[in-house]
Amino acid sequence: MTTYAKIIDKYNIEPAPPVNVTDSGLVVNYNSEANAEQLLADGYLPVTYSEQPAAPWEVAVYTAHAGQIVQTYEAVPLEDYRAQCIAEIQAEAGSRSEAAKTGFSYPEVDTREKQASGARALQADPESATPEAQFVRAIASEIGIPVEALVERILANVKKAGDAEAKIIGIQNRLEMAARAATTHEELAAIAWPETTEEQ
């Protein structure tokens, strides 16, 4: 189906509206071949879209040629694409880091270091009176379990969280190093996170 548009700039077009308001009333399905004469009179041109999909490093560009708008693709400069890929790698690291916190409430995550410090202090000295140790004792008292049991639970959770974060950071840095070393668009496009952080 042929549609019509105006060129805004090299990278953007303005499609004709689906409904056009005229002195005579509304023209429904305005952006269609049936209204070609009026569309051309209004400054719109038919658009010929590329039949090939764009590569990940390409953007659509538009030119007016022989009474129509022709869509082609243009490669993003390599350094711009590199910066885009690195930003995407970092964003994915942030998303996976947040996902690793699933199952824990905000207060639990927010006080994780305080709990860990208190648990380590109590593990080294069950009589420890540091503020962090007192914090862990207060949690254990409220739960109604022995302090020793909570210390064990906290340290297990901290280790699990630390292992997950270490893996995320490691993969992130490995991918960023590959992105900085890449010399072609194709090499950059091939850099990807594993489906899950557990994969290497």
Cα separation, 133 vs 131, in Å, equals: 5
In a domain, residue 200? The reply is no
Residue 141: pLDDT over 70: yes
Q: Which of 42, 75, 108 is the last residue of a domain?
A: 75
- Put residue 43 in one of left, alpha, beta given phi > 0 → left and psi -120 to 50 → alpha: left
The whole-model pTM stands at 0.78
**Whole-number pLDDT of residue 33:** 93
Whether 23 has a pLDDT exceeding 90, the answer reads no
Residue 21 has pLDDT above 70, yes or no: yes
Residues 171 and 90 in one domain: yes
What is the pLDDT at residue 197?
A: 63
Q: What percent of the chain has pLDDT over 70?
A: 98
Contact at 8 Å (CB) between 72 and 63?
Answer: yes
The residue among 25 and 183 whose pLDDT is bigger is 183
Q: Are residues 48 and 93 in the same domain?
A: no
Based on the structure, what is the number of domains in the chain? 2
Residues 83 and 140 in one domain: yes
Tell me: pLDDT of 200 over 60. no
CB atoms within 10 A of CB 179: 20
State the pLDDT at residue 199.
47
